[in-house]
Structure 1
Amino acid sequence: MTKKPSYSEESIKVLKGLEPVKERPGMYTRTDSPTHIIQEVIDNAADEALGGHATQIDVQIHPDHSITVRDNGRGIPTGLHPIEQIPVIELVFTQLHAGGKFNKKDGNGAYAFSGGLHGVGVSVTNALSTRLEVSVKREGKISRIVFAHGEVLEPLHEIGKCSPKDTGTEIRVYPDPKYFEQANYNLTELERLLRAKAVLLQGVSVSLTRHIKGQPENTAHTQTWHYPQGLRSYLADLLVNAQEIAPIFASENHISGSHEDFREGEGAAFALTWLEEGSCANESYVNLIPTPLGGTHEAGLKQATFNAVNNFINHHNLLLRGVKLQSDDVFSRVAFVLSARVLDPQFQGQTKDKLTNRDALKLVATVCADPLELWLNQNVEIGKKIADLAIKQAQARMRSVKKVEKKKGSGVAVLPGKLTDCESEDVRENELFLVEGDSAGGSAKLARDKRFQAVLPLRGKVLNSFEIHKDQLFGNAEIHDISVAIGVDPHGANDDVDLSGLRYGKIAILSDADVDGAHIQVLLLTLFYRHFPKLVANGNIYVAQPPLFRVDVNAQGKNKPARKLYALDENELKAILERLSSEKIRENGFSISRFKGLGEMNPDQLKDTTLHPDTRRLLQVQIPTQDTAHTETVFLKLMGKGEAASRRAWMEAEGDKAEGDI
């Protein structure tokens, strides 16, 4: 008989310093290769250049696979921290949440605009490296400190003198291969990152030096990027073989002076054009940080472009009768490069792939719309070409909708009475939210965009349909209503099913962020997995993620209005509280509310957090091809009627990992 592990005071382990990073590196960085931990160092050098303190960034890959990043910025401070009483340079590399990018709004911060938020960047690099060497030129002295596996190996010491005007930082990193899937850097990604820095930092020269395999070690190949015309010339390089219907338009606009919604210096620079055909090159950045998954700043440019082109079409009376223009008709053929400046950017995850600030959408839309509309009206012939392309896109979209309608059978199913349908007939655009309870359904109906979002409230918990035959499903009223509403009959994985009747491109499960809500989620996912597998395979099924907590921050003087912050779970709430603490907001300066359910949210809150396409969190349900057998096993164990024994064994083995909502 195996001895059960004991659970006592000694079982609790406290991770200190950089131990959390070593224990769970994937929480702090991408672990496919060391490229991202090097990007953290490059981003710090770029932030120096963004502030106007550096004109040169050099990166060198050495034959021993280490990498050096150097800049001629101000140099990391080497004096003692006034509170911690250890050298600041040591603090930056050995403590999480230590950096000069927190106190931006009070005017005392070292960086007004930066990609760094939480002060975890270079400390993560240090934690995941076998060795890290830092040399700093500052105040006429050259100082050096060396780390090994995140710990100080050589304390800070002076190694020479330099001119007081000669300043900068040089960091050499030796990534630890055990933390990464592959030890090699992604050179394509590194080159793209450095070239983008040169584009976005006019007047700054960026270089990459590396040794070519098969050549002597003392020979190296150096690439240098310098773009005097900035975004315009960069986009032209990206579109070297593309067919453009308009010349590239570029503009840079930032807030100057006082503004009721935005801070001085915030704004955006962009270059865009329209392509006749071919793939569109689209890149976006926030404070020089690449955002490959886009975010609210891209949504702002999309809104600005649609408004400018739509106003031009209306002004010149170009729209044909019966044609209604949508934003995708205008923006789907746009190639663009966007660089936004946001005072306090909020990203989705530490890898900063997507911007989530809601006010960034309004910021970019505000500063980009007027110059683009002015350009269109100053170049009427070009504007008419763009308008003609957008109108053709709208006509093609409307034709595709009519084709779908013709494939539908002559028999008409009566839609459920509790379904609040949408106005659009475009299946690709339409969304259906399956909402837990009538109360939440009422809030969702008021919060939705009635043009393309529909709501179907569900009463109680849906039947566990894992072992129910598809012919018996319609005996359950909720499942019957779901099937009729989406326009597809239940089917098996190998059935030849007709999806031409599908009425919604996205079908989203929207339940409370608690244990009951999770149970309803599982029951609905079981229904779609077992009886609507084609919808899962086609990517039509989604899970909405409403927040569990709301933090109301009181106004902090005239320049700091009241804010509402939302947290998906306890971890996000903890991160918000840490941010408020770093902003020196006392505990009596904010209050925390926990939502008991969706019905407790007012429509505006539900819209901002869960329904609006630009600010919501919507997870697509997917089953990787290699995991189909494992997925079937898990569903059988959790939902099978004869699996009580295996469920009990599983709960005994894995139950301690669950988070109870008591």
Structure 2
Amino acid sequence: MAQKQTQYSESSITVLKGLEPVKERPGMYTRTDSPTHICQEVIDNAADEALGGYASEIQVEIHDDGSLSVKDNGRGIPVGIHPAEGLPVVELVFTQLHAGGKFNKKDGGSAYAFSGGLHGVGVSVTNALSSRLEVTVKREGKIHRIVFSDGFVIGPLTEIGKCAVKDSGTEVRVWPNGKYFETPQYSIPELERLLRAKAVLLSGVTVSLTRRLKGADEAVTQTWHYPDGLKSYLADLISEAREAVPVFSCENYISDGHEGDFSVGEGAAFALTWLEEGSCANESYVNLIPTPLGGTHEAGLKQAVFQAVNNFITLHNLLPRGVKVQSDDVFGKAAFVLSARVLDPQFQGQTKDKLTNRDALKLVAAVAGDPLELWLNQNVEFGKKIADLAIKQAQARMRSVKKIEKKKGSGVAVLPGKLTDCESEDIRENELFLVEGDSAGGSAKLARDKATQAILPLRGKVLNSFEVHPDQLFGNAEIHDISVAIGVDPHGAGDSPDLSGLRYGKIAILSDADVDGSHIQVLLLTLFYRHFPKLIADGHIYVAQPPLFRVDVSAQGKSKPARKFYALDQGELDSILERLQKEGLSDNKYSISRFKGLGEMNPDQLKDTTMHPDTRRLLQVQIPDGAAEDTQNIFVKLMGKGEAASRRAWMEAEGDTAEVDI
């Protein structure tokens, strides 16, 4: 039976304008489990005013009609007409994506030196997903109001009264549209944590939440104000745990006259301690934005703390013979609150749950390491307690590895000769990189961390195993070596395989960033999907993402040394070039080179961009819930031997959408 062709013509393309993209795909811009995050965007704007020193109060109230209001006594959003757009600025901020006062920070054209807001998306998303939104602004002795509904203006900007010239600020009241969220209820614990953290991180600022408790006649107000900042906040977080040492706190920001890659004002404040028992409370923030998934700033703190503690252990000769302390041993019992200040933060996604700036790792490591090492050596008794905790964690880890290890029969397969194995036997930290070709394998061997990273070079393209019978799989040398190296036998989707022999917690496919590399990725993913499905289900399979381009920026005097940037694809390259142009660099001040393959990268480049856990991009392979049938159909179409006709029809229909790499 002939398959009906889907019409694909010029009229098939839909262009979403204004705030329509947000309404069409809200999950791309915010969390949709509850309206809490869209209200957090408004709170973050008020916090940015306080971070700049313009506001001393942030008042949040949940009203009986389900709306939420945020009020600050900052400068007030400008209400004048925008010189280019011809609309009131306050209207632009709430109705246009990528309109805001937080761009051009490096050339001084921004309204904020440091902010959590990046690209003017936050409150316009709030507006798009609200059935009603009111903004009241006090500024220059006048009170203005504008009203929106579903992102559109329904009450134009109007002057509604007078106020004292010194009385300024903004109040935003939001009625979230329930159709975009799984529940209309705000997450009160999340709001309380957020507001309490803002009070901690904003010295001298009072933050409050007013709401009516269930069954109560009158609303109650919670107020947060922390005169001791991070130190008292961390003490609150670990109040039920027993501290091994007193809380150590520190603030260290880059000052005038500093030569290096960082700007004046960048740096970090943190409070840190170790617990004898109890749960560890770790929280981090970037420009007051909470980062529950951590990121490079947390990696920087961990690097600095590990280095400081490890140096202390070495200096005082505290390490027992045969014990090697690792970063996780030092942090196993640590509790910390970290507040980083970064001029141009880059987050993973619009919800800003994770910081991704590679510079932030170096920044926090640089400002945190020396003060902590000095404190340890000034408080030797506390330093020895911390060292003892780390050493005990290391010894427990080593015992658990030996306990997990299983005796194998005499028929155990010999590991492949081309496998360069790692030293550790702990599968929770071990990683195997399946590398395309011997040349790339050589670079990877030099770039790896030999303690935890193993390399298995593959010759050419692996067999398409989609329709290969399991009994015939080991006829292919590459598949045989992969199976023996990982310690797991091939199995089917309905089987219950024995994974006790698994030798690596992460198995990463590392291929060139070109068409051939993508083909090798697909062939290996086919192998794991068809014959090792349990490894995918348990989250052991990953795809590494090496860069395609490198940008070398020449040194500009003593204050700005030479820099290197890496781009995954053309889009990232364009973004880097745009950033350099904003810095005022001409074309002859930088050069662009394209990597032809992994073998062309020197080991340091491969390590920094693709293999080091703190700076690489590693994608976990998962099959979303409910997508099993669609995934199977895609593999059948792409890899099935009898599907040539459907592949041809698909390529004819979709071929003009492909990005050809010539």
SS of 2:521's equivalent? helix
Which residue matches 2:122?
121
Task: Note the 1:171-570 alignment, pairs <5 A.
Answer: 171-216=172-217, 219-261=218-260, 262-405=262-405, 407-411=407-411, 413-493=413-493, 495=495, 497-552=497-552, 562-570=562-570
The 8 Å contact of residues 283 and 292 in structure 1, kept in 2 or not, is answered as yes
Report the 3-state secondary structure (helix = DSSP H, G, I; strand = E; otherwise coil) of the residue aligned with 1:481.
helix
User: In 2 relative to 1, CA 550–123 (structure 1 residues): closer, same or farther, beyond 3 Å?
Assistant: farther
Bigger mean CA offset, 408-417 vs 459-468: 408-417
User: How far off its partner does 1:156 sit?
Assistant: 2.5
| Equivalent residues of 1:513, 1:546 under 8 A apart | yes
Which deviates further from its counterpart, 637-646 or 479-488?
637-646
Aligned to 1:165: 166
Work out the CA distance in 1 between the residues paired with 2:632 and 2:655. Answer: 21
Contact preservation (8 Å) 2:347, 2:357: yes
Residue 338 of structure 1: how far off its partner (Å): 0.7
SS of equivalent residue, structure 2 residue 146:
strand
Question: How many angstroms apart in 1 are the aligned matches of 2:126 and 2:575?
Answer: 21
SS at 2:460 equivalent: coil
What is the deviation of 1:283? 0.6
Counterpart contact for 1:551–1:566, Cα < 8 Å: yes
Q: Which amino acid aligns with 2:126?
A: T
Q: Distance in 2 between matches of 1:357 and 1:249?
A: 26
Q: CA deviation at 1:337?
A: 0.8
User: What's 1:605 paired with?
Assistant: 605
Q: In structure 1, what residue type is equivalent to 2:367?
A: V
CA distance in 1, matches of 2:189, 2:646: 48
> What code does the residue aligned with 1:385 have?
K
Say whether 1:151 aligns with 2:147. no
Provide closer, same or farther for how the CA distance between residues 515 and 31 of structure 1 changes in structure 2, counting only shifts above 3 A: farther
C-alpha deviation, 1:168, in angstroms: 0.8
Deviation digits for residues 95-116 of structure 1 (CA, Å, limit 9, x no counterpart):
2222221222223422111111
Q: Give the stretch that moved more between structures: 269-278 or 65-74.
A: 269-278
Unpaired runs of 5+ residues, structure 2, are none
Q: What is the CA-CA distance between 1:264 and the residue it aligns to?
A: 1.6
- 1:584-609 CA-partner distances (Å, limit 9, x unpaired): 66677666555443334333332222
Distance 1:496 1:38, change over 3 A: closer
Bigger drift between 639-648 and 481-490 goes to 639-648
Q: Which whole-Å deviations, capped at 9, do the CAs of 1:302-347 have from their partners, x for residues lacking one? A: 1111122112222222111111111111111111111111111111
Report the Cα distance in structure 2 between the residues aligned to 1:502 and 1:522, rounded to whole angstroms.
23
* Distance in 2 of aligned mates of 1:215 and 1:648: 67
Instruction: Please tell me whether the aligned partners of residues 376 and 382 of structure 2 are also in contact (alpha carbons under 8 angstroms).
Output: yes
Q: Which residue of 1 aligns with 2:95?
A: 94
Instruction: Report how far residue 416 of structure 1 moved.
Output: 2.4
Higher mean alpha-carbon deviation, 228-237 vs 489-498, is at 489-498
- Describe the shift of the 1:514–1:225 C-alpha distance in structure 2 as closer, same or farther (beyond 3 A): same
CA distance in 2, matches of 1:294, 1:109: 27
What residue is the counterpart of 2:61 in the other structure?
60
Q: CA deviation at 1:14?
A: 3.2
1:506 is matched by which residue type in structure 2?
Answer: K
**Compared with structure 1, are the counterparts of its residues 4 and 621 closer, same or farther at alpha carbon in structure 2 (3 Å cutoff)?**
closer
Aligned-pair distance for 1:117? 1.3
Question: What secondary structure sits across from 1:131 in the alignment?
Answer: strand
For 1:251 and 1:128, how far apart are their aligned partners in 2?
40
- How far off is 1:459 after superposition? 1.8
| Cα offset, 1:560, TM superposition | 5.2
Check whether the contact 2:103–2:109 (CA below 8 A) recurs between aligned residues: no
Aligned in 2, Cα 1:406/1:124: closer, same or farther, shift over 3 Å? closer
Q: Is the 8 A contact 1:248 1:271 kept in 2?
A: yes
- Describe the superposition over 1:209-256 as per-residue Cα deviations: whole angstroms up to 9, x where unpaired: 12334445xx31221111111112211221122132222222222122
- Structure 1 residues 499 and 436: alpha-carbon distance in aligned structure 2, compared to 1, 3 A threshold: same
Structure 1's unaligned 5+ residue stretches are none
**CA separation of 1:587 and 1:116: change in aligned 2, threshold 3 A:** farther
How far off is 1:16 after superposition? 3.0
Name which of structure 1's ranges 420-429 and 578-587 shifts more when overlaid on structure 2. 578-587
Contact 1:407 1:500 in 2 (8 A): no
Distance 1:586 1:305, change over 3 A: same
Alpha-carbon offset, residue 388 of structure 1:
1.2
Q: How many Å apart are 1:617 and its aligned residue?
A: 1.3
**Is the partner of 2:277 in helix, strand or coil?**
coil
- Alpha-carbon distance in 1 for matches of 2:288, 2:348: 16
Distance 2:511 2:432 in 1: 13
SS state of the match for residue 172, structure 1? strand
What is the TM-score with the length of structure 2 in the denominator? 0.92
SS of residue matched to 2:31 = coil
Query: In 2, distance between residues paired with 1:402 and 1:193?
Result: 42
Deviates more, 1:444-453 or 1:47-56: 444-453
Tell me the distance in 1 between the aligned counterparts of 2:332 and 2:481: 35
Paired amino acid for 1:356: T
| Contact 1:18–1:96 (8 Å) recurs in 2 | yes
CA distance in 2, matches of 1:636, 1:179: 35
Task: Return the alpha-carbon distance in structure 2 between the equivalents of residues 332 and 65 of structure 1.
Answer: 42
Q: Distance in 2 between matches of 1:607 and 1:148?
A: 50
**2-structure distance, mates of 1:656, 1:354:** 35
Q: Deviations over 1:544-587 (max 9, x none)?
A: 12234445556677655554433434554555456556656667
Deviation at 1:534, TM superposition (A): 3.2
State the 1:381 CA deviation.
2.3
CA RMSD of aligned residues (A): 2.8
